[in-house]
Amino acid sequence: MIPGFPEAQPVAGLIGGLMIGLAAAIMLLGLGRIAGVSGLAARATGLATSGAPRAVAVAFIVGLPLGALVVAFLSNDVPARFPAPGFLIVGGLIVGFGTRLGSGCTSGHGVCGVSRLSRRSIVATTLFISSGFVTVALMRLAGAL
Amino acid sequence: MRIILALLSGALFGAGLAFSGMADPMRVRAFLDLFGVWDPTLAFVMGGAMIPMALAWAIQRRIERPLADTAFTLPDTRGIDGKLALGAILFGIGWGIGGLCPGPAIASLSLAPGDVAPFVLAMLGGMAIHRIIIRS
């Protein structure tokens, strides 16, 4: 617990982050590719014409919910609070379009690209976190939170 | 071998997302909510993920090819263009509205399929719209 930040879970966050980084390292050193979820999801569903072999993309994407399920079984509880469906639909549409236009999301740019010190990824990550800050601030202002 | 490694990578990635609390859209949104009860957990997740990946990039520069393939296939685009910037800005807007990015959304399909389905379907719709636009 961090004083002043009652909701923070620094230890679980750090351990989960190490797991995510190790997963991305397996993809990089094992298969020679970036573990970018938006690109692999587009590839797995046939919405991208180039990228990882289709079977690799499908295996990674199928693995995501399976791994989450293992944690849920072991810990008995993975809390999740979802916004109203309207927010999910609008947010999902913009996320899908934006990640394809910008060639990546939190995993590809944020984790893989920033750790590679890629200028493109550092710019993209700075922009999407900043626009996230502004969006949520505007939602708070509009009373939509 | 490649399929097994990809499945293992995806599963460990999904486990990390669930363990770190990133499968909770409200926790993610609380990270973006600078004027509310700010929750810095996401920064710890990003920081934690940087450690194995920084090592992995150092190893990558010293080896000829990955373990299970003939060559590395890595992005080689250098320039920063309008597509990158606009795409990233849009992504951040959607991320703030929904509290979800692609990884946690897909990982949540096993934990809360009914709750997350609208987001995942809309996200695939957004990807399809992008594909139609770049083709025309």
Query: pLDDT per position in chain B (136 positions), as tens?
Result: 999 999 999 999 999 999 999 999 999 999 999 999 999 999 999 999 999 999 999 999 999 999 999 999 999 988 999 999 999 999 999 999 999 999 999 999 999 999 999 999 999 999 999 999 987 6
CB contact under 8 A, A140 and B35: yes
Angle of helix B25-32 versus helix B41-60 axis, rounded to 10:
90
ipTM given for this complex = 0.97
Q: What is the pLDDT of residues A66-106, one digit of tens each?
A: 999 999 999 978 899 999 999 999 999 999 999 999 999 99
CB proximity A54 to B under 8 Å: no
Interatomic CA distance for residues A113 and B51, integer angstroms: 13
Distance (Å) from the C-alpha of residue A99 to the closest C-alpha of chain B? Answer: 6
Contact A87, A94 (CB under 8 A): no
Q: What is the pLDDT of residues B70-94, one digit of tens each?
A: 999 999 988 999 999 999 999 999 9
End-to-end CA distance of chain B: 38
Mean pLDDT confidence for A110-136: 98
